[in-house]
Amino acid sequence: MEKPTSLQFSVSDFIALTNQTLEYAYPSVEVEGEVASFKVNQGKYVFFDIKDAGGSIGCFMTVWQLRVPIEDGMKVIVTATPKLTQWGKFSLTVRAIRPSGEGSLKKSFDILRAKLDQEGLFAPERKRPLPALPRQVAIISSTQAAGYADFIKILNDRWGGLELRVAQVQVQGAGAPDQMIEALKYFNSGEVLPDVIVLIRGGGSADDLSAYNDELLVREIAASRVPTLVGVGHENDISLADMVADRRAATPSNAAQILVPDKMELIRSVRRQVGSMLPRTEQAIERRRQEIYDQLRRSVSAIDRQVNQYDQQLAGIARVLAELDPRKVLARGYALVRGDIKPGVMIEIEKHDILIQAEVRHVNKK
């Protein structure tokens, strides 16, 4: 029986062949494990081991690919390509790393939050007000996401006439942060900037939402020229993207409520305004009626005073006239003589109670 012939390689060729085989069989793998011996060399290169109870693999990546804080003991998932080095050491060339499990996610979140907080990225004085009534709204989300549908529905119910431009991106997974960063850059680089940029996605697990804790994404939101509104997950889910945004919404629906007023509320307000005019007119009429009544009363009083004054004047005149009445003079014993006072002429003498016919005998000067 003929012995099978062994393939013969040089060391370099064998390493190259092994790498070709690995690349063909496992172009990209995700491996979950605990980080150990984490170190950064020359500020550029990151080395660590990823291990579990049954083994350990060395990992290599660059600092620029490290998007979240990593420490020894953290459980992570690396996205990597397996490789045999020229020194015969098997390792993973890591393209992305993300914390896995609630404890690691929280630890990574806390470390990055403290770092960014120290830089002042969450400072209240950095927050810009959103426009009261935006016209152009840029949305960064997945159109397949339930949160997006909720947002659009509430927005349509509340207000109209908006120009909504939607950047369709992944909202979870390794590629999500970069896509959202690209979308932010896109909306910030147009000739006409939108009035506001809204990042939304519905609820999910801590791992699903971890894309919104990506350091580069958080920094891109902070650098946005356009005011930002972030509504991710549910009320209790708080991401670093939420914290750095100019305004945080508890949910995508809440983002729509924050973004635009409710047209039904405005309609009710307009109706109330018009309704308030009638009582005001009635009050004005009442005021005018009262003014007219007061004027009338003052006029009547003035007329009364004038009439009284005339009455008093008339009474005075009447008293004078009464004193001048000839009958009163006659009553005091005087007599009224009528006719020519010439000798031989008949005259009439009137006393208060008798008339006398008499003839003038003599007329002497006094």
Partner 1 sequence: MSTKNNLTIAEKTAKLDELVAWFDAEDFELERALDVFKEAEKLAREIEQDLQGLKNNIEIVKTKFSETE
Instruction: Please identify, among the stretches 46-54, 83-91, 150-158, 204-212, the one whose residues bind partner 1 according to the rule CB under 8 A.
Output: 150-158
By DSSP bridging, strand 355-359 and strand 346-350 are: antiparallel
Q: Could you say whether residue 350 binds partner 1 (CB under 8 A)?
A: no
In the bound state with partner 1, the residue whose beta carbon lies nearer, of 74 and 167, is 167
Residues 238-267 binding partner 1 (CB under 8 A) are 263, 266-267
Nearest to 108 by CA among 216, 222, 214, 217: 214
Helices (H), the chain: 11-25, 102-118, 146-158, 176-188, 206-209, 215-223, 240-244, 252-259, 263-324, 326-331
Decide: helix, strand or coil at residue 30.
strand
**Region from 151-159, 241-249, 316-324, 329-337 binding partner 1, contact rule CB under 8 A:** 151-159
* Number of residues forming the site for partner 1 (CB under 8 A): 41
CA 85 to chain CA mean position, Å: 58
Say how far apart CA 80 and CA 31 lie, in whole Å.
8
**168: enclosing H helix or E strand:** strand 163-168
Pairwise CA distance, residues 203 & 159, whole Å? 24
Dmax (CA) for the chain in angstroms is: 210
Residue 133 touches partner 1, criterion: CB under 8 A: yes
**In the complex, what is the shortest distance from the CB of residue 230 to partner 1, in angstroms, rounded to a whole number?**
17
Nearest-5° angle of CA 255, CA 260, CA 261? 120
Contact 128/245 with Cβ under 8 angstroms?
no
Question: Does the footprint of partner 1 cover residue 276 (CB under 8 A)?
Answer: yes
C-alpha separations of 364 from 219, 334, 341 in Å? 141, 20, 10
At its nearest, how many Å lie between partner 1 and the CB of residue 129? 17
Q: Is 168 in the site for partner 1 (CB under 8 A)?
A: yes
Rg from Cα positions in the chain: 54
Which token pair is 263?
């047209």
Is residue 233 within 8 A of residue 251, CB to CB? The reply is: yes
Determine if 54 is a binding residue for partner 1 (CB under 8 A).
Answer: no
Q: How far is the CB of 193 from partner 1 (least distance, A)?
A: 14
Q: Which of residues 280, 342, 361, 366 is near partner 1 by CB under 8 A?
A: 280
Instruction: Decide: is 345 part of the binding site for partner 1 (CB under 8 A).
Output: no
* Inter-axis angle of helices 146-158 and 252-259, nearest 10: 30
Please report, as residue ranges, which positions from 4 to 33 form the binding site for partner 1 (by CB under 8 A): none
Q: How far is the CB of 136 from partner 1 (least distance, A)?
A: 10
Minimum CB–partner distance for residue 152 and partner 1 (Å): 7
Stretch that binds partner 1, among 16-24, 165-173, 330-338, 342-350 (CB under 8 A): 165-173
Q: Tell me which of 105, 116, 167, 259 binds partner 1, using CB under 8 A.
A: 167
**According to the binding rule CB under 8 A, does residue 220 interact with partner 1?**
no
170 binds partner 1 (CB under 8 A): yes
Q: Please state the closest distance from residue 96 (CB atom) to partner 1, in A.
A: 11
Which residues here bind partner 1, judged by CB under 8 A? Answer: 133, 135, 143, 152, 155-156, 159-170, 174-175, 178-180, 182-183, 186, 263, 266-267, 270-271, 273-274, 276-278, 280-281, 284-285, 288
